Every structure is written in C-alpha cells, then in structure tokens.
Amino acid sequence: MTTTAETMRKLTYREAVREAIREAMQKDERVFLMGEDVGRYGGCFAVSKGLFDEFGPERIRDTPLSESGFVGAGIGAALGGMRPIVEIMTVNFSLLAADQIINNAAVLLHMSGGLFNVPIVIRLATGGGRQVAAQHSRSLEGWYAHIPGLKVLTPATVEDARGMLWTALEDPDPVLIFENSGLYNMEGTLPVEAGAVDIDRARMRRPGRDITIISYAASLFKALEAAEILAREGIEAEVIDLRTLRPLDDTTLLDSVARTHRALIVDEGWRSGSLAAEISARIMEGAFYELDAPVERLCSAEVPLPYAKHLEDAALPQVDKIVDLVRTMVGGHG
Amino acid sequence: MKTRKNATTRAEPVEREHGLHLLRSMIRIRRLEDKCAELYTTTKIRGFLHLYDGEEAVAVGVLEALTLDDAIVATYREHGHALIRGVSAGCILAEMYGRQEGCSRGRGGSMHLFDDRTRFYGGNAIVGAGLPIAVGLALADKMQEKSRVSCCFFGDGAVAEGEFHESLNLAALWRLPVLFVCENNLYAMGTALRYTQSVTDIAAKAASYGMPAAAVDGMDVLAVEAAAHLAAEAIRAGEGPQFLECRTYRFRAHSMYDAELYRNRAEVEEWKKRCPIATFTERLRDAGQVSDDDLAQIEAEVAREISAAVAFAEAGSQEPLEDLTRFVYSERRMP
C-alpha cells in the first residue's frame, strides 16, 4: 500500500465516530441517532457535536433519561423499518436498559422462529481510568458478550471507530459498539477515503514470535507499549486486537498461539467469569498441545473501581504489570 | 377488520351481522382457551399457560378498530389476540405443541406467538417490556410518514413498571401514534391492584402524561369497540397517543400453576355473572338478533375449527435437532 501526505489525514477517535455517524445518516435516510444529550448538548463525550444543526431534531433525537424506554423504542423502530443508532451514555446506565437489550433485542428473532430480526445499533461508552468511581467505570462488554443473539464490537483504533459503524448498521441483528471513553481523544491517521471495515475478525497489531498478547480497546495500547519495552529485552510479543468480542474469531487467536506457544490475555473486565476466562478456555481446548506455558490473564482487580488515582491505577491492567508477567512467562524458556 | 366511521355506543343497536361476528369472535377465543386447558392437563401442552377466559371482549373490541396494516404488541396472555388478528388456531396450537408448523416454529410456545403477515410483534413475557417496542414501532411510522397505529396490550401489573411510565412519556412527548390498552383484570398475578398501587385509577395516571385516557367496561364488547374506534380515529387524525383502560376480570387462574389463594370463589362467581359472552348473547337475544339456531351454528363452526386445529397440531413435526442454533442470528442480510 502506498500512501502519501495528500491521501492521509489525522483525526481523533471521537471525530472518526462522528464522521461514521454523519456518513451513515447521509447514505441512508432510515438511520437516526437517539440518546441522552446527543442533540442540543452535542453528546456527553462530544461525539455528536454539530450533528443536531446538520440533521435536525428528528434524526438527532434527544431522549429523556429513560434508558429502557428509548432502547426499547430503538428496537421497535428497527422492527418498523428504521436503522436506529441508540447511544447509551455509558455502559453503566445500560443496566437500566438491560431488559430491552437482553430480554427483547437478543431474543426476538429466535422466539419468533426467524420472523422478526432487530437491526439496531447501540453505542455505549465504557471503561475505567478517569477517576469517576465505581458507578461510572465499568467494563461490561465481556458480560454482554455472554448473550447469544447480540454482536459485541470494541473498536480500538481510529480506523475501526470510523469503519465499524456502517458494517454494524448493515447487519440484520442487534450490534453493541463499545467505545472506551479513554480513547476519544486519541489521534490516528487514516486514508482520506477510509470507510467500512469488517466486524468479524481479530487483527494482529504487532507480529512477534515469543508470546501472544490478546487484548482489545484501551488495553490494546497498553499491550503494544509493553511489547515495545519487551522488544528492547529481546522478547518479541505478538499483539492481537480482538475487535469483536462476540462472535470471537478463534482462528486468528489459535493461529497466533500456534506460532508463539504462549498466551497472555489483557482485559479491563474482572477476572472471575470473564471474557479473559472464555478466551483462556478456548486456547486450552483448541491449542493445548501448542502451549509451552499456562495461559495467563491480566484483568482488573476484583473490586469496584475506586476513585483515588493510585488505587484506581492499581486496580486496572497497566503496562508495567504486562511487562513483568510476560518476563515471567517467557523467562528461562526462550 | 374494517374501520367503521361511526363508533357504536351502548345506546345504539348493533347490526345483526356485526353482532354475530363479535359474538363468534369471543366464542372462538373461549373455546380455544378451553381446549388449551384440556390439552395442558393431558400434557400435550407444557410450560406456562395463561388463559384469557373472561377478558375476550377486550381483544375482540379493540382489534375490531384496527386494520391489518397496524401493529400489535401483546403479552403472554395473547392466544385470543393472535387468533382474532388472523393467526390460525392450528398454527397457535401447533406452537403450543412445540411443532415447527407453529406460528413461531415452536421456539416461543404459548407466551410468544408471532406473525409477520398481520404485524403481530409477539406475546412478550416480561411485564411492561412490550410498551417501549410499541413506542418504537410508532416512531418508525411517524418518521416514515406512515399513517398506522401501533397498539400495545398490557395488564394492570405493567403499570407498576418503569417501562410503563417511560413509554407513556415518550409517546406523549413525541406525539406518536400508539394505542395503549391496559387490560385491567385487577390482579398482577396474585396480588390485587389495591396492594400495589397508591393510585388505582390507571386511566388517571395515563392522563397525567398529557394523553387522552378513557376507562371502559372491559366486559362489554360494544363499549370496548366504540372506545377503541374513537381512540384509533384520533390517532389516525394525528392527535398522538391514546390510552384505554379496559376494566375486566380473568375467570381462570393466572396460570396452570396458580392455586388461587388470593381471591375467593364468591368474587369470581360475581364477575362470571358479567361474562362478556353470556351478557352479549342475552343482549342480542333480547333484541331478537340471535336465535338458538344461530348460537348452535356458531358453536358447531367453532367446534369444527378447534378440532381441525388440534388435528393440525397433532400432525405437526418436530424441528430437526440440527436446527437447534438457528434463528440466533439472521440467515440472510437485508436491504
């Protein structure tokens, strides 16, 4: 691929999501955005800033603080021929809409014997690390990935933030897109004509031979940073970005582990009953004889996220912890 | 299902043919439910089974005011609604038999009847969860400038759920074409309304959201029909959501597991005197519009329909086990 300054441009993750929404609204008049403060306020994280003026109050629709009501209305609108993008301010508030997401969106196709699919896209901010304490810091994307009937996307890169939305809107079934709030200010470089990307494959973000670090969203960048530090010590870590938590792309994971023979999963979710546990089990089932060491997991400490910075930092996966863990896993067996 | 220009009121006589049609509709529901109860005791039907006996006037009266273009969202007590909407008794019973010929391929059972041809968006078994869906269907219609009604049935129990209040607020705020129909049978499963609501006047609660709300005798099919026509016409005229509280009573237990310890026989017997089928039959008889022969003919026709439905369900087939994980995700993309 040849790229020049003229064909590439810089933009933030936030701008990428906004562009994706704008493009979808321009391409398909069935698409509309609905959620708390998405219109006049411009979005809690300023993602939809400016869209209200561009598209008006019908298509950039402010809602009351009625998560169950407006998520359910999104489901109904999807059944009625629209292509709603419903924004839930953060995953924490999605618990107020869990009934609609889990009891309705995820099961209507099945309960109706295939008669009624629900083409809704729900966007949610997720993640900790901003000192906003236990009720605003959860990473429940892995928990939603437990539910058959849902698809769960976790764009980490600006390219995915730009490209996953359209593919999700084209999907006939409910898709949840988790945007880690720590990434909104991250800058990236994209081709001018960047557009839709696939939503069903994991991606290798860094090649390596000694260990596979599997991660997604904000933790991905911690894993990449750790890999750079480890490379100076002669340890080459391969870093896989899951991108989609449901369905999981087993093939990419297992292929990588077959090359590196070690695997570490870095996940901001809690360890018990976690997505990391699921991936670990799949590696055990699918690549047990390839392993030179037990699969390890680095997850959040089993505690509601505390406010104090030193405690919150200690609760979340961090670069130094990844480095230490990889050294232990690879040390003496390289 | 035609749209009548002039809503019939209590005082007006009903045309003979229309009267017989309403009576036949209610009898069809009653006989289907009787058959379901029988089939449950012989273990042909399993799972939860919630029967509609006593409440027939509500589904029949309301659906009379709607067209096939309108959308319906119902509850887990929805056999009657599906039947009157146009789902065949055979497909309904086959669903309860768990057969792939059922209207939901046996994936849903008694509580989850669906039909795309008649825009029947299901029996929903989470109390209150259907209301936001109806709001969304109406939102889609409004945004697409389609003049259709989204009708949502729910019970008095749903009034205590947050989704009830969120939905009424959204529908009124956005002036959406929703017909909310509360089937107030006085009990949320086994707990009486007076033990769960600080204000038991449900129509008053709805009115507080700024939408026209009427309470109607849910045991009187003509009263329900008239009120539903007025509400549907207002919605089609662009006047926003309308609310109908139908005061009714369920003659049978909440479900087949219910020992009915929370209400006494005398109360049930008192309500049975107001049976919507018996009282309407009397009314037609008094007006000289129905004869014993008519009644016998209706009963015979309905008996044939139910017996054919049972035969259809009995002859149904089991979905192959290889298909177990189908319909979790769509099998084809859409435009």
Q: What is the pLDDT of residue B335?
A: 66
| Annotated catalytic residue, options A15, A36, A67, A179 | A67
pLDDT in tens, A164-205: 999 999 999 999 999 999 999 999 999 988 999 999 999 999
Chain B residues inside the 8 Å CB shell of A116: 114, 116, 121-122
pLDDT in tens, B147-170: 999 999 999 999 999 999 999 999
Q: How far apart are CA A296 and CA B266, in angstroms?
A: 67
In a domain, B134, yes or no: yes
Report the 3 state secondary structure along chain B.
CCCCCCCCCCCCCCCHHHHHHHHHHHHHHHHHHHHHHHHHHCCCCCCCCCCCCCCHHHHHHHHCCCCCCCEEEEECCCHHHHHHHCCCHHHHHHHHCCCCCCCCCCCCCCCCCCECCCCEEEEECCCCCHHHHHHHHHHHHHHCCCCCCEEEEEEHHHHHCHHHHHHHHHHHHCCCCEEEEEEECCEECCEEHHHCCCCCCHHHHHHCCCCCEEEEECCCHHHHHHHHHHHHHHHHCCCCCEEEEEECCCCCCCCCCCCCCCCCHHHHHHHHCCCHHHHHHHHHHHCCCCCHHHHHHHHHHHHHHHHHHHHHHHCCCCCCHHHCCCCCCCCCCCC
Q: What is the pLDDT of residue B2?
A: 35
For residue A304, the 8-state DSSP code is P
Helix (H) or strand (E) holding A126: strand A121-126
Average pLDDT score over residue span B255-282: 94
- The two structure tokens encoding residue A271: 């360890």
CB of B97 closer than 8 Å to CB of B311: no
**Amino acid at position A150, single letter:** L
| CA A305 to chain centroid | 19
Q: How far apart are CA A202 and CA A219, in angstroms?
A: 15
Q: What is the pLDDT of residue B4?
A: 36
Model confidence at A334, pLDDT cuts 50, 70, 90, reads very low
In this complex, is the C-beta atom of B19 within 8 Å of any C-beta atom belonging to chain A? Answer: no
Model confidence at A5, pLDDT cuts 50, 70, 90, reads low
CATH number of residue B113's parent domain: 3.40.50.970
Q: What angle do CA B12, B6, B116 make, to 5 degrees?
A: 120
Chain B residues inside the 8 Å CB shell of A70: 132, 166, 170
Phi, psi of B207 (to 5 degrees): -60, -30
| Domain limits, chain A | 8-191, 203-330
- Contact between chains at A69 and B167 (C-beta distance less than 8 A): yes
Judged against a pLDDT cut of 90, whether residue A83 lies above it is answered with yes
Beta bridge partners of A126: A180
Q: What is the pLDDT of residue A332?
A: 57
Nearest to A99 among B122, B126, B333 (CB): B126
Residue of A nearest to B319 (CA): A113
Assigned fold of A8-191: Rossmann fold (3.40.50)
Model confidence at B1, pLDDT cuts 50, 70, 90, reads very low
In this complex, is the C-beta atom of B330 within 8 Å of any C-beta atom belonging to chain A? Answer: yes
Q: What is the pLDDT of residue B14?
A: 85
Contact residues for A113 (Cβ-Cβ < 8 A; gap 6+): B100, B102, B103, B104, B105, B106, B107, B108, B114, B327
- Contact between chains at B132 and A81 (C-beta distance less than 8 A): no
Assigned fold of A203-330: Rossmann fold (3.40.50)
Please tell me the number of Cα atoms within 13 Å of A17 on its side-chain side: 30
In this complex, is the C-beta atom of A65 within 8 Å of any C-beta atom belonging to chain B? Answer: no
Chain B residues inside the 8 Å CB shell of A112: 104, 107-108, 112, 114, 116, 122, 327
Average pLDDT score over residue span B208-224: 98
Judged against a pLDDT cut of 70, whether residue B10 lies above it is answered with no
Q: How far apart are CA A208 and CA A227, in angstroms?
A: 9
Q: What angle do CA B106, B112, B113 make, to 5 degrees?
A: 80
Best mutation target, A60, A65, A68, to test chain B (most B CBs within 10 A)? A68
Q: How far apart are CA A320 and CA B118, in angstroms?
A: 60
Judged against a pLDDT cut of 90, whether residue A3 lies above it is answered with no
Handedness of CA A171, A176, A182, A184 (dihedral sign): positive
Cis peptide before A64 (omega within 30 of 0): no
In a domain, B25, yes or no: yes
Judged against a pLDDT cut of 70, whether residue A333 lies above it is answered with no
SS3 state at A176: strand
| Annotated catalytic residue, options A15, A87, A136, A312 | A136
Q: How far apart are CA A96 and CA A70, in angstroms?
A: 11
Total tally of structural domains belonging to chain B: 1
Q: How far apart are the CA of B191 and the nearest CA of chain A, in angstroms?
A: 23
Average pLDDT score over residue span A26-45: 97
Percentage of chain B beyond pLDDT 70 is 96
Q: Which of A129, A22, A118, A109 is nearest to A77 (CA)?
A: A118
Judged against a pLDDT cut of 60, whether residue B9 lies above it is answered with no
In a domain, B297, yes or no: yes
Report strand pairing: A211-215 vs A237-241. Answer: parallel
Domain that holds residue B230: 16-310
Q: What is the pLDDT of residue B164?
A: 98
The single residue listed with the structure tokens 């209590």 is B10
pLDDT in tens, B134-151: 999 999 999 999 999 999
Judged against a pLDDT cut of 90, whether residue B7 lies above it is answered with no
Q: How far apart are CA A277 and CA A302, in angstroms?
A: 14
Percentage of chain B beyond pLDDT 90 is 93
Chain A residues inside the 8 Å CB shell of B332: 172
Q: Is A67 a catalytic residue?
A: yes
For residue B206, what are the CA distances in angstroms to B27, B152, B185, B209? 31, 14, 17, 6
SS3 state at A58: coil
Nearest to A109 among B115, B167, B327 (CB): B327
Judged against a pLDDT cut of 80, whether residue A240 lies above it is answered with yes
Model confidence at A331, pLDDT cuts 50, 70, 90, reads confident
pLDDT in tens, B27-42: 999 999 999 999 999 9
Q: How far apart are CA A322 and CA A298, in angstroms?
A: 7
Judged against a pLDDT cut of 60, whether residue A251 lies above it is answered with yes
Contact residues for A182 (Cβ-Cβ < 8 A; gap 6+): A127, A129, A130, A218
Q: What is the pLDDT of residue A71?
A: 98
Q: What is the ipTM of this complex?
A: 0.95
Best mutation target, A28, A60, A115, A173, to test chain B (most B CBs within 10 A)? A115
SS3 state at A274: coil
- Taking only residues 72 to 111 of chain A, the set having a beta carbon closer than 8 angstroms to any beta carbon of chain B reads 72-82, 84, 99-100, 103-104, 108-111
Q: What is the pLDDT of residue B332?
A: 80
* Mean residue pLDDT across chain A: 96
Q: Is A136 a catalytic residue?
A: yes
- The two structure tokens encoding residue A69: 């009501």
Residue of B nearest to A97 (CA): B163
* Mean residue pLDDT across chain B: 94
Q: What is the pLDDT of residue B3?
A: 34
In this complex, is the C-beta atom of B327 within 8 Å of any C-beta atom belonging to chain A? Answer: yes
Chain B residues inside the 8 Å CB shell of A74: 136
Q: How far apart are CA B200 and CA B80, in angstroms?
A: 26
Average pLDDT score over residue span B240-248: 98
